[in-house]
Structure 1
Amino acid sequence: MGLFLYAFYLVNIGQIALFAFATFSVSFLITQFRVEKFIYKRINKIYKDLTLLEAVSFSKKSITTDMATLTKQIDQYAKNKKLEIETLKVREEYRKEFMGNISHELKTPLFTVQGYLETLLDGAMNDKNVAEKYLERANKGVERLIYIVKDLDMITKLEVGDLSLNVDTFDIVELVQSVFELLEMKAAKKKITLTFDMEYKDPIMVKGDEERIQQVLTNLVVNSIKYGREKGTTEISIEKLIKNKVIVRVTDNGEGIEKKHISRLFERFYRVDKSGSRKEGGSGLGLAIVKHIIEAHDEKIYVESEFNIGSEFSFTLEKARTTP
């Protein structure tokens, strides 16, 4: 425009330069405004699509800064979504395995009960001896179902924090001794010795729910018997960990556990031996319940094992303050 004016009207060169600068500045500002408005409109749409507007306050800074920030945030968003997807895949696999396990656990006793009842209905009930025997076996199947359902109910309450603990002070040595006495006959069938690592002459007072801790010890000792070697040993030791903590160790010289299984031991219905352990009975929830009970006490549980050598399960408890 400046050159046109100069050529046809011989306008002063200074006026032409001023006019050209003013025209360029106005054009640049209008173009910049329109481009920025277009880009921000598109960026805001991306933010809305990614549901980032609630978490991020998007302010109009320079285009470069905002684009860099957006790129960084979208990259982080993509990483988080990828992690979520991977987590969901793992959970889906766990869900499928869990549903398969629970259906197997419930199916076996259900079919057993159904089989005996159908046999009785088909005429076996007319024979008193057969009827009595089959009813006893059906009753055992029902008891197993009740056992599984009770354990499921307990673990559900523990997971949602709906099971209250009756915390009190008790002697852990005395509690271990009572568990040994309770399981003495079960251990005798495999000639397994239940013993302390040493003689505890004085009581060791701890804080916790005595009934639940007894359940923990019972489950751990039962497992050590179940997977223990014939003529083996299950040993319990109680050691001072730090000033206000003790650690209870349950050690056996049984089958041991392969490393690939250790990380999954506390999952519901997870079994190291898919066939043999079912023959031994149990709900498949014992270790999961143990873990949740210990965590409900805000304590820790540990496991160490060597295949074909033995296993050690240990958990911490708060030591009770003794009055001088």
Structure 2
Amino acid sequence: MLATSRGISLILAMAISALVAAFLSLMDDATTLLILVAAGLAFSAAYLLINITLEFLVFREIGNIYSMLEKIQKKDLSEIPIKSSKSSISPLRKINSVINSYALARQKEIDALQKNAEFRREFIADISHELKTPIFATQGYIHTLLDGAMDDKQVRMKFLKRAAKSLDSLDNLVQDLLTLNQMESGVIKFVFTDFDLKDVIEEVIEELEHKASKRKVHIDFKYDPERSYLTHADRQKIYRVCQNLIFNAVKYNHDEGQVKVTLKASKSNIQVDIKDDGQGIPPEDLKRIFERFYRVEKSRNKKEGGTGLGLAIVKHILEGHKSKISVSSTVGKGSIFSFSLPLVKPVVLESKEVVQKS
């Protein structure tokens, strides 16, 4: 490239020098020495200016473009610099900057498509596995009955109950998938009303007390009886959030463990903390527990039941309330799941009537 720019500069400089010498030779008072000096100066100046112009404004930028195109061809965009948007006297540098930006944008799109494709493959594999388990179990019980076990009344009732349980699990899975899909697509609308969050949590605890008592797990609910816990949200969906989180705290706790549910009201928010003293969640799993079908321990989770979609639904419900679910966990000591909702402050009128203010 240097040889090319120097060669072009040399040819053009010689041409300019010859033109200067020819022009001066037409003058009557021009001496041979003057013509030679002028031609030499013209050659030197023209050579330097043309060589610098070609090298720094043309050939070097063309070389950068070729180098960048080779990296794009090899899909190595990690070292492609993001050019500054500052003005440049070289139009080729602007072209190079535009190509760089375009290549980086296209690579981001490709990375996103590859990530979505990988997620799709994982999702298809997961849902196939989840559907296969209850279907195969039901098939086994039904075919066993058809092969002659139906004549035994005791066996028939036992297998029919197990088949019904498998079908119920399948129905729960399908319903959760439909709910999650409708939330993501915006089909399900949220119905916001004012309600007491404390009452909702008490209802959930009352519902789960029987399951907790089987493993002697104690659910402790702490709140300030002097404070108001009115919030503006979708009561049914927040009930499902509390139900899922408290149920998980009971399910993944150890026998005779404790679950602590705490309500804390600030000036504008109500924070809900659900803490268990179970085995905890490893750090590498914390970022993925809200993904569909993700299981920290597949064998234990499968044994305990569940569709693997509960936390994903919790995440989407809270996002619909412009809130987020957070989790902190220590292996061997337990986990804490937290979320917050807006606080509705009661306003006391002069007539002593209490109204709710959003």
Sort the TM-score into its range (normalised by shorter chain).
Answer: 0.7 to 0.9
Residue of structure 2 aligned with 1:130, choices 127, 144, 155: 155
5+ unaligned residues in a row in structure 2: which ranges?
1-14, 30-57, 59-64, 70-86, 349-358
Which residue does 2:260 correspond to in 1?
235
Which residue of structure 2 aligns with residue 261 of structure 1? 285
Who is 1:270 aligned against?
Answer: 294
Q: Deviations over 1:110-165 (max 9, x none)?
A: 00001111111112222222222211111111111100000000000111111111
The one-letter code sitting in structure 2 at the alignment partner of 1:84 is: E
2:230 paired with 1:205: yes
Q: Give the deviation of 1:78 after TM superposition.
A: 1.6
- 1:201–1:125 Cα change, 3 Å: farther
Contact 1:256–1:306, Cα closer than 8 Å, also in 2? yes
Structure 1 unmatched runs, 5+ = 15-35, 37-42, 47-60
Stretches of 4+ aligned residues off by more than 3 angstroms = 10-14
Q: 1:72 to 1:190 in 2, by over 3 A?
A: same
Say if 2:277 is the partner of 1:249: no
107-116 or 117-126, larger mean C-alpha shift: 117-126
**Is 1:270–1:284's contact at 8 Å kept on the other side of the alignment?**
yes
Deviation (angstroms), 1:102: 1.0
Number of equivalenced pairs: 285
Structure 1 residue aligned with 2:336, among 309, 312, 316? 312
Match of 1:298 in 2: 322
Higher relative contact order at CA 8 Å, sep ≥6: structure 1 or structure 2? 1
Whole-angstrom CA distance in 2 between matches of 1:76 and 1:13: 60
Aligned-pair Cα RMSD in Å: 3.0
Cα separation, 2, equivalents of 1:163 and 1:307 = 36
The one-letter code sitting in structure 1 at the alignment partner of 2:275 is T
TM-score, with structure 2 as normaliser = 0.72
Percent identical? 39
Alignment partner of 1:147 is 2:175: no
Q: Which deviations, in whole Å up to 9, do the C-alpha atoms of 1:65-101 show, x marking residues without a partner?
A: 3211111121122222222333333323222222221
TM-score, reference length from structure 1: 0.79
- Which range is displaced more, 243-252 or 192-201? 192-201
Task: Report the Cα distance in structure 2 between the residues aligned to 1:125 and 1:216, rounded to whole angstroms.
Answer: 42
What is the CA deviation profile of residues 177-214 of structure 1, one whole-angstrom value per residue up to 9, with x for unaligned ones? 11110000111111111111355355411111111001
Q: Which has the larger radius of gyration?
A: 2
Which amino acid in the other structure matches residue 83 of structure 1? K
- Post-superposition shift, 1:322? 1.0
Q: What is the letter of the counterpart of residue 318 of structure 1?
A: P
